[in-house]
């Protein structure tokens, strides 16, 4: 029995971001630069992110929602 720890989901002490969150932000910055600062379609961003990391659409949406503060239309009490 091996004890393998997946450190990719542990927040970095410097900024609190996980590896996947950092990749999303990196891809977003690059895409915005290429598009002249315009908004980046979510599907375009997802396509760039999956080139760098294995992430499901659901996890991507969850991380993106958490980072942007948009929670899928659910109101908080």
Question: What percent of the chain clears pLDDT 90, i.e. is strictly above it?
Answer: 58
Tokens coding 46? 């997802």
If you search the block for the tokens 């977003």, which residue do you land on?
28
The CB-side HSE value for 29 (13 A sphere, CA atoms) comes to 6
Q: pTM score, two decimals?
A: 0.76
Digit-coded pLDDT (tens) for 37-71? 899 999 999 999 999 999 999 999 999 999 888 76
The answer to whether 57 and 46 are in contact (CB under 8 A) is yes
Residue 71 confidence (pLDDT): 65
Structure-model confidence comparison of residues 35 and 15, the more confident one = 35
Digit-coded pLDDT (tens) for 19-34? 999 999 999 999 999 9
The answer to whether 38 and 56 are in contact (CB under 8 A) is no
Q: At what angle do helices 42-50 and 57-68 cross, to 10 degrees?
A: 120
Beta-carbon contacts of 40 under 8 Å, excluding residues fewer than 6 positions away, are: 28, 31, 32
């Amino acid at each position: 029995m091996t004890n393998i720890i997946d450190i990719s989901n542990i927040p970095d002490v410097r900024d609190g971001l996980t590896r996947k969150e950092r990749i999303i932000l990196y891809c977003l910055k690059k895409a915005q630069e290429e598009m002249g600062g315009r908004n980046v379609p979510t599907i375009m961003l997802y396509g760039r992110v999956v080139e760098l990391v294995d992430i499901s659409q659901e996890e991507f949406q969850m991380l993106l929602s958490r980072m942007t503060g948009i929670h899928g239309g659910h109101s908080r009490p």
